[in-house]
Structure 1
Amino acid sequence: MSIRNPRLPLLPGYGTNPMIGKKSFGVRPIFTTIGNVNMLIDKQEGGNRVPSLYCRKQAPDLPTWIMYDKHILRFQAFFQQTLHENRSGSHILRKVNILFYLEDGTIKVMEPKTENSGLTQGTLISRQRIRLPYSYDLYYDVLDLNIGLEVSFHGKVFKIVNCDNFTRVFLNRLGVNVPDPIPYPDAIERTPDTRKPPKHRPFKQFLDFDRQVLRFYGYWDDRDSEFGTLHNLEIHYFLADDTIEIKETVAPNSGSETGPMFLKRMRLPRKIPPKIEMTGGPLVASYSPADLSIGAVLNVFGRKVVLTDCDPFTKEYYRVTYGFDTFTKLPIPQDDSKECVSSNMADRQLPPWNGYGSYDDSAENCRTVEPKAIHRDFIKFLNKDRVGFDSHVLRFSARLISDNPDDSRRYFIIKYFLCDDTIGVFELGERNSGFLGGKFFRRNKMYLPDVNFFVPKEPPAYTDKDMWVGNELVVNKHRFRLIAADEYALRYMELNAEQYPMANIALIMDKIRRTLASQENGYKNFVAKYMEAVESDKKDLMSVRCFKQALKEIMCEKMTEHEFLTLIRFFRGDPGKDKLPRREMVRSLVFSELTRGLWDDRDRLREGLMHADATGSGVLSVERLRQLLRAHRLPMSTDLMDCMLSVLLKDEKCNIHYEDMMDFLDFKTRPVFNLTEADYEKVVRHAPPVKDTECKLWGEAEMEIRSGFVNWSAFLCQLNLEHLVKEQS
């Protein structure tokens, strides 16, 4: 197939049409083998030009679409666009990015978008292979692009001025020298105009400074006038058209009825123009950015506005444009009138509380005539409300301090609710004692004794810091002594030891350490006297009774009962064996929940399990078994259900034998014991008691603590006072 010479005119007799008589116009594929891979090429071997698929004289072993995937050469270039009927210049310079894709030799030309340019920017030439000028079978290659070269894409000439680091390294490895970057020429070649000075062109200013606003903060002091006040202002200077807008910052509940706009957007004149000049004549000089600075005073139609501060963008603008480096914020004068009003509002006192109802309810009725609900601490309620087994209720057992022997034998349970700081008192009535059990004092906020109730401010009340074993509470003229606490209360206070000093083992040990260090030969005599009390058969263990007696001798009245309890719990030295197996403890919990929920449908549950076990293997997966238990509406929480499934019999694939679960839920074989508070901690995290009547089992836990042992060696190691023995000896 012959190709016409492009230098000859397209006239009859100067060439022949090779397409005449041809019926098939398909492209003949040309294949070759390169590196044991059959590749399609655009020219036979032995031609004058190397295809752009590979680097010159370096054919890779892999195909180019794998070897050079996502490898792009990036060049920066520009071209000039002629401007017609424009007196400001003859042409405009447009910057572009030329992308050369090594995998297939395609080229893409993109122009970065410039805001308010008025031009259609983005992709100028889509990705394609571009032919060389005056050629029909040759395309631009990687060797045709370099800094300083001019390339012609579809009749548009581009001048390459720079490239990225990857492109420079790639061309250098090919042996191509890459020159240094070339600076861009002037963006617009302006024609000189010497006949008259250049005019102010608002449109160019708008394009250059659109959306750029200088923000200042200031005030206008109007306190000299009657009913005047101090106005806090925010000044906006628009660089696009040299206009100023002033807004007033009105504080909430300030009583001001004026609008927030102090001055609408306009050119602010430096001086108030006379009425004659308002109708015509030259423009009045207005404020410019050079007139604005921190400490400057603006004349806003007779009002003196003082600038005190500005935002970061304004500081950067003045730093670049005018070279300012110091921006010291000026103080704003205090408004005495507002201080007077605010102080009067703060000193407002409510009428004395008459003692009827709660203080919050009475105070709310005094603040407004319309009855409203009491505003409680909702954030505290969310954090301290019941979450799973965390009840956030501290339970203590108490005795009534009274001269009457019958009253001294009465047993009470005091609950402190952390969500709203209220206290509830319940009595556990014994049989034939003459006292009915139940609610003794309803849940309410309990105030400290010997305080004046008939005062405007709320009297102080009991807090969670007052709840510790050994303390005395006076509730409605009844004096209670806290004698014990449940496992949840003790554990909660130990976990939050920074809030409860009585449960902080570090503070307690520091108190003992300071007491022993202050006595002469105190630590030496203390260790020598009670070393013989250590059990001979149980190494390093001392009985709780002896340990408590030793501490009382050195501490006297400096240590409370709760601190003794914290030490005993921390240095407990009993052998590590559980009183109850875990399976039976979980079974007791499940039995209590199912009995409370009145659930006894084992036959229907067995039928559902056998229907789910289609193969009759006798086992089901944990997920399937949990789904069946939920379908049969077993009244138990998700945590308790997971505890039950964890103690059931499983096979080697961790599937559960459901017959073992049916024996676990057999109500005919009732658990032989009830769980105490100490047993709950072994099963689930911080489990509260199921009922208040179960608190009578606290006596067993108290006896266990009294009959236990303390690790004496660990206690002495924690004291860390061996250096006193050397100094005193």
Structure 2
Amino acid sequence: MTIGKTKFGVRPVFTAIDRVNMLVDKTEGENRVPSLYCRKQAPDLPTWIMYDKHILRFQAYFQQTLHEMRSASSVLRKVEIFFFLEDGTIKVMEPRTENSGMSQGTMICRQRIRLPFSYDMYYDVLDLNIGREVTFHGKVFKIVNCDNFTRVFLNRLGINVPDPLNWPDAVERAVDKSKPPKHRPFRQFLDFDRQVLRFYGYWDDRESEAGTIHLLEIHYFLADDTIEIKEMVPPNSGVEVGPMFLKRMRVPRKLPAQVEMTGGPKLASYSPADLSIGAVLNVYGRKVVLTDCDPFTKEYYRVTYGFDTFVPLPTPGDDTTEKISVSIKDRKLPPWNGYGSYDDSAENCRTVLPKPPHKDFIKFLHKDRVGFDSHALRFAARLINDNPEDARRYFIIKYFLCDDTIGIFELGERNSGFKGGKFFRRDKMYLPNVDFFVPKEPPAYSDKDMWIGNELVINQHCFRLIAADEYALRYLEYPMANVPLIMDKIRRTLASKENGYKDFVAKYMEAVLPSNRDLMSTKCFKQALKEIMCEKMTEHEFITLIRYFRGDPGKEKSPRREMVRSLVFSDLTRGLWDDRARLREGLAHADDGGAGVLPAPRLRQLLRAHRLPLSNDLMDCMLSVLETDENCNIRYDDLMNFLDFQTRPVYNLAEGDYLKVVRHAPPVKETECKLWQDADTLIQEGYVNWSAFLCQLNLEHLVKDQTELVQK
């Protein structure tokens, strides 16, 4: 009895579930058995643990009366009923429909709902099933369907679930199928709101005095079958007309006599079936010809009417519009005066109010830095002039793909007399011997000019590109140095000479290594290609072939590996990093299959997560010298051996050998120069797979044909 009770507080009670103490809001003997089980047959766990996130879902509908609308007395509203098994609560939601004119969403928030005409009894799982009607707060819902989980759950409880029922609107459509469809404006508005067919056309008014061709844009609104026509007036044409040719309205197919317009039935207006390319619309006595349409209109007619061909019609020429367009197109700007950029000066000439120039934002989005893709090409360069002191100067040229600008930096050496740093600020670098004071912007250097061996003349300074980093070489392999195109160039050169391929193979057969007949030194390989190609190949193409047909990778990378280890340990020592145990644990956790390998992007992500104080370039160099499997996945055991502090090497970059005394590596600005010098040394002293090169050259048939000719 609760009569006269003033305090209804709940005493906190602890209970033990699987030897774990938990705080419950009810005592031990109350509501421990779910209502859908018989007494002493339910599991020992409470319902809020046993049925957590278990929800029964039903589909239902109810009818709402509409007193303010004449077209219909009621409207059918579809809802979804959710029954939460953990506590017996119910939630009712109505799916949102765009432009429905009704407030939709959560109709009844999650709560326990009493049975009608009852005070202490609530809806349970036995009260919900297909075909039943339930009353929630005065609204009667008819359940017509449920999901698969609900059907299986009820069947396991021994409750038969009937087949799904049809929606009432589907039954009405099946009954009224034989009758002509009734026009429902409100339904048409809901189905086709904001769907507009757009056509392009013209009205030829040249027969009248001072008439011309009016270019029109026709909009057909599918929501209410109205038409709107706008006139496209060219700028600075001198025509003082409003842009609206016809305001939005229903356009009748035939214009009746003035007497017949006083009464009678409504006039038939244009429908989508009357509009097509080539159709002529009678717009109150004006013949409007449709010549083209937009992609949405084409797709609508393709799906609705099955049209496949949309050939646009030509517009009759008009001398006035042609003269206006030509005069606007041929307008020339004054020559550049040297102040600001070309784009800035051009914008100030086009308008009275100064506006900032519009940059290529789409190119910026595609070529801006994203993760480890810097989209900046870095090259090492030398200054070419008659001064012998400039021959020792070393430069870094960076080409930014996002805006086609170039920045030049100098790596200064101690006691050289030249201070390192910024040599030329980042800006567009134009080609030499061009006239700058012209209306149009002169041609500038692009990414097609950035290749090893090319000479760039920038502000009367000649720079020769002598090396590039790994990112630039990989980026330029396809557009600038395509291996199939280079091989095709060599193939055509050897095929054009008599006994060219035979002499080429016989001459350099002795240059292969005695221990391995498939390998040849890069020095001999480069000499062989220069003898047959002469000046037809650039230095960048030679490097591309050497990188592609690389042979004996274990021996050629060993000096670079130790040098990179020295640079890595110097940065790790400066950053006070020594957490190899945690790194090994993270690598083992990331390797789910225990294969001992990880992809390079995943390994780079793990190294960043463990806060290794390494720059992006140095981390890429470290990953490039680690051991890989046949799928180019990195073995992380080799990485842990690489980061072993007990066996760390110390490499003297100045003298090129290993030191016995611990010494830090040079700063980052100097290591960039040394890394590229080391890469150039590897190219000069490495090995090339000669057999793979001859196999891809595929000119053995020439030897057979020449041998047969000699025998004859």
Post-superposition Cα deviations, 1:325-346, rounded to whole Å, max 9, x if no partner, equal 3365352423634555545666
Q: Does 1:487 align with 2:467?
A: yes
Asked if structure 2 preserves the Cα contact closer than 8 Å seen for 1:53 and 1:103, the reply is no
SS at match of 1:497: coil
Tell me how far apart the structure 2 counterparts of residues 619 and 515 of structure 1 sit (CA, whole Å): 54
Alpha-carbon RMSD across the aligned residues, in angstroms, is 7.0
Q: Identical aligned pairs, as a percentage?
A: 44
Q: Does 1:719 align with 2:663?
A: no
The letter of the residue matching 2:687 is N
SS at match of 2:154: helix
User: 1:40 corresponds to which residue?
Assistant: 30
The letter of the residue matching 2:204 is D
Relative distance call for 1:260 and 1:529 in structure 2 (3 A) is: same
Q: Does 1:232 align with 2:222?
A: no
Post-superposition Cα deviations, 1:302-350, rounded to whole Å, max 9, x if no partner, equal 3222345667887898899xx7333653524236345555456666778
Asked if structure 2 preserves the Cα contact closer than 8 Å seen for 1:91 and 1:188, the reply is no
1:109-124 alignment, distance < 5 Å: 109=92, 116=100, 123=107
SS at match of 1:70: coil
Aligned length: 584
The letter of the residue matching 1:488 is A
Asked if structure 2 preserves the Cα contact closer than 8 Å seen for 1:384 and 1:392, the reply is no
The letter of the residue matching 1:102 is L
Relative distance call for 1:447 and 1:206 in structure 2 (3 A) is: closer
Asked if structure 2 preserves the Cα contact closer than 8 Å seen for 1:247 and 1:263, the reply is yes
The letter of the residue matching 2:307 is T
Instruction: Select which of 151, 155, 179 maps to 1:168.
Output: 151
Post-superposition Cα deviations, 1:161-219, rounded to whole Å, max 9, x if no partner, equal 44333333333222233333344557999xxxxxxxxxx99986787678365424132
Q: How far apart are 1:233 and its partner, in Å?
A: 0.8
Tell me how far apart the structure 1 counterparts of residues 381 and 509 of structure 2 sit (CA, whole Å): 37
User: 1:69 corresponds to which residue?
Assistant: 52
Q: Does 1:285 align with 2:267?
A: yes
Tell me how far apart the structure 2 counterparts of residues 509 and 73 of structure 1 sit (CA, whole Å): 67
Tell me how far apart the structure 2 counterparts of residues 188 and 572 of structure 1 sit (CA, whole Å): 75
Tell me how far apart the structure 1 counterparts of residues 356 and 194 of structure 2 sit (CA, whole Å): 49
Instruction: Select which of 469, 473, 496 maps to 2:476.
Output: 496
Asked if structure 2 preserves the Cα contact closer than 8 Å seen for 1:414 and 1:423, the reply is no
Post-superposition Cα deviations, 1:349-395, rounded to whole Å, max 9, x if no partner, equal 789x999999969996997799999979877899699x999675663
Q: How far apart are 1:711 and its partner, in Å?
A: 3.3
Bigger mean CA deviation after superposition, 411-420 or 91-100: 411-420
User: 1:331 corresponds to which residue?
Assistant: 312
User: 2:595 corresponds to which residue?
Assistant: none
Q: How far apart are 1:128 and its partner, in Å?
A: 1.9
Post-superposition Cα deviations, 1:565-619, rounded to whole Å, max 9, x if no partner, equal 77678769996664998499969x99xxxxxxxxxxxxxxxxxxxxxxxxxxx99
The letter of the residue matching 1:715 is W
User: 1:180 corresponds to which residue?
Assistant: 163
User: 2:204 corresponds to which residue?
Assistant: 222
Q: Which runs of 5+ in 1 are unaligned?
A: 2-18, 43-49, 190-199, 401-406, 427-438, 591-617, 624-636, 647-651, 658-662, 665-669, 676-680, 691-696
SS at match of 1:487: strand
User: 1:649 corresponds to which residue?
Assistant: none
Q: How far apart are 1:497 and its partner, in Å?
A: 3.4
The letter of the residue matching 2:47 is T
Tell me how far apart the structure 1 counterparts of residues 5 and 348 of structure 2 sit (CA, whole Å): 102
Relative distance call for 1:143 and 1:232 in structure 2 (3 A) is: same
Tell me how far apart the structure 1 counterparts of residues 191 and 537 of structure 2 sit (CA, whole Å): 74
Relative distance call for 1:180 and 1:519 in structure 2 (3 A) is: same
> Highest CA radius of gyration, 1 or 2?
1
1:188-337 alignment, distance < 5 Å: 211=193, 213-222=195-204, 224=206, 226=210, 228-237=212-221, 239-240=223-224, 243-249=226-232, 258-270=241-253, 281=263, 285=267, 287-289=269-271, 292-294=274-276, 295-307=278-290, 324-326=305-307, 328-329=309-310, 331-334=312-315, 336-337=317-318
Q: How far apart are 1:247 and its partner, in Å?
A: 3.1
Bigger mean CA deviation after superposition, 359-368 or 327-336: 359-368
SS at match of 2:193: coil
The letter of the residue matching 2:694 is L
TM-score (norm 2): 0.57
Q: Which runs of 5+ in 2 are unaligned?
A: 19-26, 173-181, 411-422, 579-612, 623-640, 658-664, 708-712
Tell me how far apart the structure 2 counterparts of residues 334 and 246 of structure 1 sit (CA, whole Å): 17
Asked if structure 1 preserves the Cα contact closer than 8 Å seen for 2:57 and 2:147, the reply is yes
Tell me how far apart the structure 2 counterparts of residues 129 and 543 of structure 1 sit (CA, whole Å): 86
Asked if structure 1 preserves the Cα contact closer than 8 Å seen for 2:189 and 2:223, the reply is no
Relative distance call for 1:57 and 1:93 in structure 2 (3 A) is: farther
Tell me how far apart the structure 2 counterparts of residues 178 and 580 of structure 1 sit (CA, whole Å): 70
